[in-house]
Chains A and B, each alone.
Chain A
Amino acid sequence: MNFNLFYNFGRYMIMMRSAFSKPEKLSMYWKETLRQMDDIGVGSLIVVALISIFIGAVTALQFAYQLDGTLVPRYYIGYIVRDLAIIESAPTITCLVLAGKVGSNMAAEIGGMRQKEHIDAMEIMGVNTTAYLILPRLIAAIVVIPLLVTLSAYIAIIGGYIATVPVGDLTSEEYVRGLRSFFVPFNIVMMYVKAATFAFILTSVSCFQGYYVSNGSIELGKASTNAVVYSNILILLADYLIVLLLTG
């Protein structure tokens, strides 16, 4: 078990090192990067929007409930929804969900290419397959996922508004006042550090699972599941470390 962990970590490092080599042909890598951006970005818009609106709504309602009968002013609801979205829920929950959607898809796609000897075929042509298969996905994810996270934060704030203002928990002016209070620009930095780190984790872990899959559809399924499970664990671990480092 322990041996396996070290073995896989070593293999992961070797794969990643070889992934960062000079592309054979920039235009081919660029084309692949655009395709991946489209896949990750456009393909995930709806699911990210959906979860974000609920996250914002639930945060707002929950906090309104907690504030009931206390002396904390109501406009704090806007402030809490905003900061919770920026610091934690937008980057972390979005990326956990994307690990399930994008990560499992990458593992299955690359794993399928391994099993159908597509990767061997490219190797024989002289293509550096770790670079060609991983680098475009990595770049696409690190560009697109932070954009999705930004969107998620905005939508969560709208969700909070929809859940509280129309039912009279607080007024529109109060909510907006909350949004404008105690703003710490550094939190935005933290959000992007998280988003980019999580994007890196979920892409590289998922590519790794697919790239080294062995034969058989059971193995392919396992690789896809592992991609999600390991990405999620590592994302939460990284989340903890980032908060520790950046707020300490």
Chain B
Amino acid sequence: MIRAENIFKSFDEAEVLKGISMTFEQGKNNLIIGRSGAGKTVLLKILVGLFEPTAGNVWYDKRDFFALDKKAKRAIRMEVGMLFQGSALFDSLTVEENVMFPLDMFTNWTKKEKLDRVNYCLERVELVGANDKYPSETSGGMQKRVGIARAIVLQPKYLFCDEPNSGLDPKTALLIDELIQSITVENNITTIINTHDMNSVMGIGDNIALLHLGKLVWTGNKDEVLESDNELLQKFIFASPFLQRLRDAAIQHG
């Protein structure tokens, strides 16, 4: 469980987050949705501690993150995995070396133990045999999957994903969503996902929070999305004329 408490964030003059409080549950896909520029990435980076909030607290279960010293923060980081929007794979390392990097840095396992774990993770993201490829030789979807494998290699308790399916075709995007979903459930992870992809919202949104201009304007789950008459939510979901027509047609047919 992660809890954000009254988070404010300003860059110079601009106030990007204006008092966000919300809880992210364990074993669930917690979605933060909103249009580009709503502040999703900034919120995520505050949750993982890459940015300091101007005001507010972040709780990792019973631990008040920003009140901890450097060492304790690093200890929490060991329990955190993150998938970046651009995957953030190290270009000079192969797929295998990328996934192994956290193990190399933080464990004293033997080469064989590390390799077994890496291969298990690669298998988990359906990338068997891609070990020796370099990131530049792989597709965007594969890079995302390598990113996931690297994020889960140290068995995190908390998983963060920033726009996991941006830049992917719809089918690959669905696969990535399903992968994150099943990893979350299997390992009972607290997963937090930034997205503006409606397929994700309707597919894996256990908890959904809509961010608009730095404020939380709606929370609920995927079943409540369609029933809500929150105007901002409706505007966000039915952003395209095509979807609006679908909705109107559905209403007409009862």
Q: Which residues of B contact A44 (CB under 8 A)?
A: none
Residues of B within 8 A of A120 (CB): 45, 50, 82, 84, 88
Q: Which residues of A1-52 are within 8 A (CB) of B?
A: 24-25, 27-28
Interface residues of B in 76-101 (CB under 8 A from A): 77-78, 80-82, 84-86, 88, 90, 101
Task: Report the Cα distance A99→B198, complex, angstroms.
Answer: 50
Asked whether A123 lies within 8 Å of B77 as measured between CB atoms, the reply is: yes
One of A25, A118, A124 near B106 (C-beta < 8 A): A25
Which residues of chain A from 95 to 139 have a CB within 8 Å of any chain B CB? 116-118, 120-121, 123-128
Q: Produce 1/0 per residue, A72-94, CB < 8 A to B.
A: 00000000000000000000000
Is B140 an interface position by the 8 A CB rule? no
Provide the bound-state CA to CA distance between A200 and B160, in Å.
Answer: 37
* CB of A25 to closest CB in B, whole Å: 5
Given A28-B104, A28-B105, A126-B106 in contact, is the A121-B82 Cβ separation under 8 Å? yes
A104 to chain B, nearest CB (A): 18
A24-B106, A124-B50, A125-B102 are contacts. A117–B86 as well, Cβ < 8 Å? yes
Are A116 and B105 neighbours in the complex by a CB distance under 8 Å? no
Complex formed: what's the CA distance from A117 to B162 in Å? 12
- A127 and B70 alpha carbons, distance in the complex (Å): 11
B74 within 8 Å of A by Cβ? yes
Q: Given the complex of chains A and B, what is the CA–CA distance between A118 and B90 in angstroms?
A: 7
In the assembly, what is the distance between CA of A117 and CA of B44, in Å?
A: 14
Closest chain-B Cβ to A234's Cβ sits at a distance in Å of 29
Task: Tell me the chain A residues, 120-167 only, with Cβ under 8 Å from chain B.
Answer: 120-121, 123-128
* List of A residues within 8 angstroms of B78 by Cβ: 125-126
B80, B102, B150: residue with the most chain A Cβ atoms closer than 10 Å: B102
Contact of B105 among A24, A117, A118, A123 (CB under 8 A): A24
B125 is an interface residue with CB less than 8 A from chain A? no
Residue numbers in B under 8 Å from A118 (CB-CB): 88, 90
| A127 to B88 CA separation, bound complex (whole angstroms) | 15
Contact with A along B117-161 (1 / 0, CB 8 A): 000000000000000000000000000000000100010000010
A27, A117, A124, A127: the one within 8 Å of B80 (CB): A124
Q: Are A126 and B77 in contact (CB under 8 A)?
A: yes
Q: How many angstroms between the C-alpha atoms of A28 and B97 in the bound complex? A: 12
**Does B88 contact A121, Cβ atoms closer than 8 Å?**
yes
Among the listed B77, B86, B154, which residue makes an inter-chain contact with A116, where contact means beta carbons less than 8 Å apart?
Answer: B86
- Verify if B48 is at the interface (C-beta below 8 Å from A): yes
Given A117-B84, A120-B84, A125-B101 contact (CB < 8 Å): yes
A126 and B84 contacting across the interface, CB-CB below 8 Å: no
Cβ of B105 and Cβ of A127 under 8 Å apart? yes
A124 contacts B105, C-beta separation under 8 Å: no
Per the bound structure, the CA–CA distance linking A83 and B105 in Å amounts to: 47
Question: In the bound complex, do residue B104 and residue A124 qualify as a contact, i.e. CB atoms below 8 Å apart?
Answer: no
Alpha-carbon distance between A116 and B87 when the two chains are bound, in angstroms: 9
Smallest beta-carbon distance B45→chain A, Å: 8
> Measured between C-beta atoms, what is the minimum distance from B94 to chain A in Å?
15
Residue on B nearest A24 in the bound complex, by CB: B105
Residue pair B50, A123 in contact (C-beta under 8 Å): yes
Q: Which of B50, B75, B77, B160 contacts A125 (CB 8 A)?
A: B77
**How far, in angstroms, from A117 to B160 measured CA to CA in the complex?**
14
Closest to A35 in B: B92
Query: How many angstroms from the CA of A121 to the CA of B48 in the assembled complex?
Result: 11
In the complex, the answer to whether A116 meets B104 with C-beta atoms within 8 Å is no
Whether the Cβ atoms of A25 and B82 lie closer than 8 Å is no
Q: What is the distance, in angstroms, from A1's C-beta to the closest C-beta of chain B?
A: 17
Cα distance A127–B45 when bound, in Å? 16
Residue from A28, A117, A121 having most chain B Cβ neighbours under 10 A:
A121
In angstroms, how far is the closest chain A Cβ from the Cβ of B33? 21
User: 0/1 per residue, B61-81, Cβ < 8 Å to A?
Assistant: 000000000000011011011
Once the chains are docked, how many angstroms separate the CA of A127 from the CA of B73? Answer: 11
* Nearest residue, chain A, Cβ from B73: A126
- The 3 A-B residue pairs with the shortest CB-CB distance, nearest first, are A126-B77, A121-B88, A117-B88
Q: Which residue numbers of A lie inside 8 Å of B, CB to CB?
A: 24-25, 27-28, 116-118, 120-121, 123-128
9 further A-B contacts with Cβ under 8 Å, apart from A24-B105, A125-B77, are A116-B86, A116-B88, A118-B90, A120-B88, A121-B84, A123-B77, A124-B77, A126-B77, A128-B74
Binding site for A on B (CB under 8 A): 45, 48, 50, 74-75, 77-78, 80-82, 84-86, 88, 90, 101-102, 104-106, 150, 154, 160
Ordered by A's residue number, 9 sampled pairs between the chains whose C-beta atoms are within 8 Å are A118-B90, A120-B84, A121-B84, A124-B48, A124-B82, A125-B102, A125-B154, A126-B77, A128-B74
